[in-house]
Amino acid sequence: MSDAYATTDRLVSADSNVYDRGLDTAIALSVIGFTLGLVTLVNLVPPGASGSALTTALGTLLAVVVGAVGITGLASYTNVVPVTSQRVRGIGLGLVVSTLALTALAAVLPVTMATLLGIVLLAEALAITAAGVSSRLELVDTEPNMSAGLLSGGALGAVGLAMGAAVGGALTGSGSLLWLVGAVVAGVGLFLLAILPREDLGSTLPTAIVVGALGLTIVTGTIGVGWQWNPQTLSGGFTGGAVIPVFLLVGTLLSAWSAAKCRAGFGARGREYGAFLVINLNAFLMVAVMATIVVFVTIKGVGYAVHGLSVGALTALVLLTPALLAAVQFARTPAGTNDWNAGARQLFRVLPLAAIGALAAMFASVLVTGTPLRYAYDYTVQVNRQGQALDTAIAVTPDTSIGTLLLIAPALLLAVTFFRSFGSLRNVGTQSERADSVRQAVPTVVLGLVVLIGFFLVFGPAPFGFPLNETLAFAAVVAGSVAAGGLAVSPLVGVLASDGPTLAESAQREAPLFTLGVFGGLGLLLATLLLQPVAGINPRVGPVNLVPAVALGAAVASLALATLTTVAKRSSEETITRRLLTEETRLGLVGAAGFTALVGLHVAVTGTSFNVLGVSIANEGSLSWPMVMQAYIPLGAEPGGIMPAIIGTVWLVVGATLFAVPLGVGAAVFLTEYAEQGQFTALVEIATNALWSTPSIVFGLFGAAFLIPRLGGDESLLAGMLVLGFMLLPLVLITSRESIKAVPDEYRDASAALGVTQWETIKSVVLPAAMPGVITGVILGVGRIAGETAPLILVLGSTLNATAAVDVIDGFRFVSGPPFIANDALLTASASLPTQVWAVIAAGVSGSPQMGWATAFILLMVVLTFYAVGITARTYFRRKLNYE
Amino acid sequence: MSDSINTETSTDTETNGEQTVTTASPSAETTAGESDERVREEWRQYEFAGDAKLSVENLDVWYGDDHALKDVSMEIPENSVTALIGPSGCGKSTYLRCLNRMNDRIKAARIDGSVELEGTEIYDPNANLVELRKRIGMVFQSPNPFPKSIRENISYGPRKHGDINKGLLARLFGRDDTEKEGALVERSLKQAALWDEVSDRLDDNALGLSGGQQQRLCIARCLAVDPEVILMDEPASALDPIATSKIEDLVEELSKDYTVVIVTHNMQQAARISDQTAVFLTGGELVEYDDTDKIFENPESQRVEDYITGKFG
Ligand SMILES: Nc1ncnc2c1ncn2[C@@H]1O[C@H](COP(=O)(O)OP(=O)(O)OP(=O)(O)O)[C@@H](O)[C@H]1O
Ligand SMILES: [Mg+2]
């Protein structure tokens, strides 16, 4: 209340602080109880767990809560995330206090998880009753209505009805109708209790009765873990393991609602806060369902999938840093209006920050203490055979090459700033002619290098038998390095050559060059670094490894410039120049960081050390691929990998998308922009909808009976691509059509009035505007086809545990007769993730069940990656269409 | 009614008007007016020195069965501002759209009659619509910039017409017109009096501009194609007085080199900026067309006078 009524100038009585904090804790406790209910429901922690197992589980929860609240609090303290709301702080505190209390309880008393949950419900009931009564006795300032209202009464009555029926039924046994009496009594009783008294009692007492009854049932063991009920009218039954979590979900939802109402002082505000909490917990449930699937598959599969993966703690930390920075950035952007629930929303915003921060802290502790983290999974999946437990573990090994830390951590930090400042570059640099000419050179050179890299990727380092890597590539790498250095140094030269009277003025005049130096140097260096491993060369001048040396040189040059501009800025007066220079300073700094980061990443990823002037930077063996990411090794001691299946699935999706998107979008354009709306378009619509609902096995049969005889007679990758493409087609068509229709006619009119033809208009105005919708369709469709199994079994071939991946890129060759270009790889059978999962788990063909789960996990990751790509593309187009 | 004869023969319209107002119901007045116009063909025959840029003859437009424009004939002189005024729904927009064949885009519309641009029939079945709309540009009633950057909005037309080449291919072939584009964008925006406001954010999305800025951007976009005639449909209808006056200044400026036809609901605006004014009244008729001064000071038709003084429409 204290902050809820801060604006109304009402006197807040002394004890209302206790009231507020108490209710904050009650709300926090319901949130934790809800979470624990979910955890128990999916059996992450079994309801019967007790003793050290329970304490450990709660200890983990405590660690997570303390970590999250702690980091958020820290961020709030340092003003990264301004959490000003009393209520949010109170709930944060409540979260810590109540988790602590639960953990202590579990450690001291010999309770099971189920009992603990019952205690949670009882505590909730007590807290709510106390709050309601103290409000009724006017010990605190509240603004209750005359009644809790029919809606609340109805809901509580319904809960009472159900409970009464259950209790009545259990007491009297089946066959009698007496349970009806219990149901009616309980239902009507609760209903009346809710609507008759004033709101503060009406919305607390009935809730407390329900929650307390649920809690008592659990604590007294009336419904224990081993409890079972098999009504004769049903074929199935209920077990305590399933009922207790459900009780908990219902109970905590109710008590959260009630406590939130009390906390906001009843009345309109109370109703709003109550609804907000319930809706949020419900949404949380939605997310939890999705998360459960992902978590379940991950738990089953990740152990095997990462078997053999080992990451240096430093590498892990470094890889985590951008995520942490992104999360900070996300949390910093304003959360919208400053209304009553902004604080709560902010809490949701900072959750990723907290999660990533906790991970980072974990890796840091490994780094400091030297104790590796081990996750040991011990599980058996009994499908067809006895699963043997593997010693799967994620070993995070500490790594003490401090040089790398010094190199990479600040570099990444600054690199992020660099990319954030990217937008400011557009307006910089119109003043200088020199800058213009350099600007034109940069894309040309970069394009050339990219083409060169592509060339090497396609034809290898020795195309047509010419050992180009000895000559051309060497020259290119050297030229790239030199150009990168040159560009990076160019601002320095520019400033020195400039005829401004003072250094500051020269720097101002040449400010645009700094941008180019940073950008050009970075771009060229990146290209060169890419080229270097592809071309298989490593240019050295004497003992110096050229590329990293140039990178270091460029970084130093940029730093020098940054210093220079800082000096210049100090003596400059004009505001525009100052602005420019501020940006340039930052750019110089982050440019330097970018270079350094590149070198660091180069070392971290490839593991190759390098020497510059006697300083050696190495990080050997900090990343080794997990076994599952390799090809299957038929006779090896280690179980085989699934790389060929991953590649097969990726190719299938790429091929299907390449087939379906142009066709689908083209048809959508025709139907919306050219065809007269009439029977034909209606027919097409019906056909597409029908196609979309056609079972996938039918597509498979069609592929097997129609496509395969026409595509060389054998199951093949191409047939798989086409069949999946046919499945994707209708969705792409439908969504594209809708989004093209949604493009306003004003755009078309405006374009037509400028004398632009219809096709040009479609190409340059309509399609870009419809792009986000089209991409949404593709995202949804890819999600469907990537995991499609049935048709693939029929058309892709049953290559399981393949020892080699299909090599589509190398498969292309020119032939003298039509069709002039052929690709044998497309016409061979291939492995794919879904068929592999099916074969291993369901059909029991070769490989252990763990292998199947690992494969499923990887499949999930592949699909999520496709999602991520699609969503990024959609966000990009949305940004482009809407002003920022 | 006897008034009709009276009006037809007498020049004393003043008396007539008073009589109508005092003695007749509104419907009677209209009947009187209609019979009154029917015989006064010459009120629409506007005589001017110089060439007609556009000449419209016996133009009829139907939307389905709805006869939206009735037998309009009108000659529009070169390098001048012609205002079209009249009550809502009388067919001004319809008429304007006929002039660059934007009505072709409305499926229900059927057009009969002839429109000539410098003596060439634009409703010729072989007419080149692209060329026509390049020569006759249009600014719409509500601003409709593309969801692209300000720069791209301006250079959109010229790029599509191949006057400006940009991008990777153009650069490869050494025909990159970035400079030319920059100059064109600057010129068009300056013409539309928008340059000072947006010169430092040409690459921002145009949807981020204010309504008035968007409208001026649309004018700049139209000017970038370098048309001969500019059709404007209430370009200032959604703007505040300052933005409106900017657009008015702009129109006056444009009339030196362009032929401007502008629809407006604002009498003062029409009086201020136009050289000649055409008055349409309900039913899609062109009632009177003359020098703006004449129309506003001493219109021939009683109905026009009523409309202008706010008694009708
Ligand atoms: N696309 C269309 N389909 C059918 N009827 C139309 C269409 N456009 C206009 N009309 C009709 O034609 C008549 C003239 O419309 P028009 O838009 O030309 O009026 P206006 O003089 O521009 O009115 P305003 O001043 O309100 O813009 C109106 O009766 C209108 O209902
Ligand atoms: Mg109109």
3-state secondary structure A537-574: CCCEECCEEHHHHHHHHHHHHHHHHHHHHHHHHHCCCC
- B63, B95, B232, best to mutate for ligand 1 pocket (most atoms within 8 Å of CB): B63
Closest ligand 1 atom to residue B234 Cα is 27
Which helix (H) or strand (E) element contains residue A229?
Answer: strand A228-229
What is residue A577's predicted lDDT score, i.e. its pLDDT? 46
Across the interface, of B147, B161, B218, the residue whose CB is closest to A755 is B161
- For residues A155-160, give the mean pLDDT: 88
Would you place residue A633 in the very low, low, confident or very high pLDDT band (cuts 50, 70, 90)?
low
Distance from the alpha carbon of residue B89 to the mean position of ligand 1, in angstroms: 5
Is the confidence at residue A318, as pLDDT, over 50?
yes
A443 contacts in chain B (CB < 8 Å): 171
- pLDDT winner (highest mean) among A491-495, A622-626, B29-33: A491-495
d(CA A307, CA A639) in angstroms, rounded, equals 10
Give one DSSP letter per residue of A343-403, joined into a string: HHHHHHHHHHHHHHHHHHHHHHHHHHH-PPB---------BSBPPPPP----EEE----HH
Would you place residue A747 in the very low, low, confident or very high pLDDT band (cuts 50, 70, 90)?
very high
Query: How high is the ipTM of this complex?
Result: 0.82
Q: Which amino acid is at A121?
A: L
Give Cβ neighbours of residue B96 (< 8 Å, ≥ 6 apart). Answer: B84, B138, B231, B233, B261, B263
- pLDDT tens, B152-200? 999 999 988 888 877 666 666 666 777 888 899 999 998 888 898 888 8
d(CA B17, CA B29) in angstroms, rounded, equals 9
Q: Which amino acid is at A37?
A: G
Is the confidence at residue A669, as pLDDT, over 60?
yes
- pLDDT tens, A335-376? 554 444 555 566 566 667 667 776 776 776 666 666 666 655
Name the B residues in 186-215 with CB < 8 Å from any A CB.
200-201, 203-208
Residue nearest to atom 5 of ligand 1 (CA): B63
Partner-chain contact B204 A884, CB within 8 Å: yes
B144 to chain A, closest Cα gap in Å: 6
d(CA A90, CA A269) in angstroms, rounded, equals 18
A442 contacts in chain B (CB < 8 Å): none
Q: B161 in contact with A at a CB cutoff of 8 Å?
A: yes
Q: Tell me if B103 CB under 6 Å of ligand 1.
A: no
Would you place residue A580 in the very low, low, confident or very high pLDDT band (cuts 50, 70, 90)?
very low
d(CA A843, CA A536) in angstroms, rounded, equals 44
Tokens describing residue A326: 């992104």
- For residues A293-321, give the mean pLDDT: 71
What is residue A658's predicted lDDT score, i.e. its pLDDT? 92
Higher pLDDT, A558 or B229: B229
What is residue A9's predicted lDDT score, i.e. its pLDDT? 34
What is residue B161's predicted lDDT score, i.e. its pLDDT? 86
Would you place residue A573 in the very low, low, confident or very high pLDDT band (cuts 50, 70, 90)?
very low
Phi-psi region of A712 (alpha: psi -120 to 50; beta: other; left: phi over 0): left
Is the confidence at residue A208, as pLDDT, over 90?
yes
Give Cβ neighbours of residue A569 (< 8 Å, ≥ 6 apart). Answer: A504, A578, A581, A582, A585
Residue A184's φ and ψ, nearest 5 degrees, are -65, -45
User: Which ligand is nearest the CA of B95, by number?
Assistant: 1
What is residue A390's predicted lDDT score, i.e. its pLDDT? 47
d(CA A281, CA A288) in angstroms, rounded, equals 10
Which helix (H) or strand (E) element contains residue B263?
Answer: strand B259-263
- pLDDT tens, A8-66? 333 334 445 778 888 888 888 988 898 888 888 777 778 888 777 788 788 878 877 88
What is residue B7's predicted lDDT score, i.e. its pLDDT? 37
CB pairs A-B closer than 8 Å: 84
Best of A424, A426, A756, A760 to substitute, by most chain B Cβ atoms within 10 angstroms, is A756
Least confident stretch, A149-163, A330-344, B13-27, B70-84: B13-27
d(CA A455, CA A678) in angstroms, rounded, equals 50
Q: Determine whether A252 is exposed, middle or buried from the number of CB atoms within 10 Å of its CB (0-12, 13-18, 19+).
A: buried
Closest ligand 1 atom to residue B106 Cα is 1
SS3 A712: coil
Is the confidence at residue A446, as pLDDT, over 60?
no
Would you place residue B220 in the very low, low, confident or very high pLDDT band (cuts 50, 70, 90)?
very high
Is the confidence at residue B18, as pLDDT, over 50?
no
**A640-882 carries CATH number 1.10.3720.10:** yes
What is residue B146's predicted lDDT score, i.e. its pLDDT? 92
Apex CA A398: angle with CA A405 and CA A75, to 5°? 60
- For residues A786-795, give the mean pLDDT: 85
d(CA A565, CA A507) in angstroms, rounded, equals 6
- Buried b vs exposed e over B263-290: b needs ≥16 C-beta within 10 Å? bbebbebbbbbbbbbbbbbbebbbbbbb
Q: Tell me if B89 CB under 6 Å of ligand 1.
A: yes
**Displacement of CA B97 from its chain's centroid (Å):** 9
Strand A623-624 relative to strand A310-312: parallel, antiparallel, unpaired? antiparallel
CB-side neighbour CA atoms (13 Å) of A432: 24
What are the CA-CA distances from residue B44 to residues A45, A582, B291 (Å)?
90, 66, 11
What is residue A381's predicted lDDT score, i.e. its pLDDT? 36
d(CA A242, CA A250) in angstroms, rounded, equals 13
Would you place residue A84 in the very low, low, confident or very high pLDDT band (cuts 50, 70, 90)?
low
Closest ligand 1 atom to residue B90 Cα is 21
What is residue A402's predicted lDDT score, i.e. its pLDDT? 47
- For residues A324-329, give the mean pLDDT: 68
Q: Tell me if B91 CB under 6 Å of ligand 1.
A: yes
B144 contacts in chain A (CB < 8 Å): 744, 746-747, 749-750
Would you place residue A562 in the very low, low, confident or very high pLDDT band (cuts 50, 70, 90)?
low
Q: A765 in contact with B at a CB cutoff of 8 Å?
A: yes
d(CA A117, CA A490) in angstroms, rounded, equals 68
What is residue A378's predicted lDDT score, i.e. its pLDDT? 44
User: Which ligand is nearest the CA of B86, by number?
Assistant: 1
Tokens describing residue A458: 């396609």
Domain ranges of chain A: 12-145+201-229+242-267, 149-196, 310-334+341-400, 404-618, 640-882
What is residue B156's predicted lDDT score, i.e. its pLDDT? 92
Q: Report yes or no: B271 and B292 within 8 Å, Cβ to Cβ.
A: yes
Would you place residue A212 in the very low, low, confident or very high pLDDT band (cuts 50, 70, 90)?
very high
- For residues A180-189, give the mean pLDDT: 86
Is the confidence at residue B253, as pLDDT, over 60?
yes
Closest ligand 1 atom to residue B61 Cα is 12
Least confident stretch, A118-122, A474-478, A760-764: A474-478
Is the confidence at residue A575, as pLDDT, over 70?
no
What are the CA-CA distances from residue A284 to residues A33, A80, A513, A587 (Å)?
13, 26, 51, 41
CB-side neighbour CA atoms (13 Å) of A114: 26
Distance from the alpha carbon of residue B312 to the mean position of ligand 1, in angstroms: 19
B70 to chain A, closest Cα gap in Å: 24
Percent of chain A surpassing pLDDT 90: 7
Least confident stretch, A380-389, A606-615, A693-702: A380-389
Cis status of the peptide bond prior to A47, with omega within 30 of 0 = no
- For residues A853-858, give the mean pLDDT: 84
Q: A675 in contact with B at a CB cutoff of 8 Å?
A: no
Would you place residue B229 in the very low, low, confident or very high pLDDT band (cuts 50, 70, 90)?
very high
A749 contacts in chain B (CB < 8 Å): 102, 105, 140, 144
What is residue A578's predicted lDDT score, i.e. its pLDDT? 52
Residue of A nearest to B199 (CA): A427
Residue of A nearest to B140 (CA): A750
Tokens describing residue A179: 């349970």
**Displacement of CA A601 from its chain's centroid (Å):** 23
Percent of chain A surpassing pLDDT 70: 57
d(CA A237, CA A243) in angstroms, rounded, equals 11
What is residue A616's predicted lDDT score, i.e. its pLDDT? 55
What are the CA-CA distances from residue A871 to residues A857, A867, A877, A879 (Å)?
21, 6, 10, 12
Domains of chain B: 41-147+227-309 (3.40.50.300)
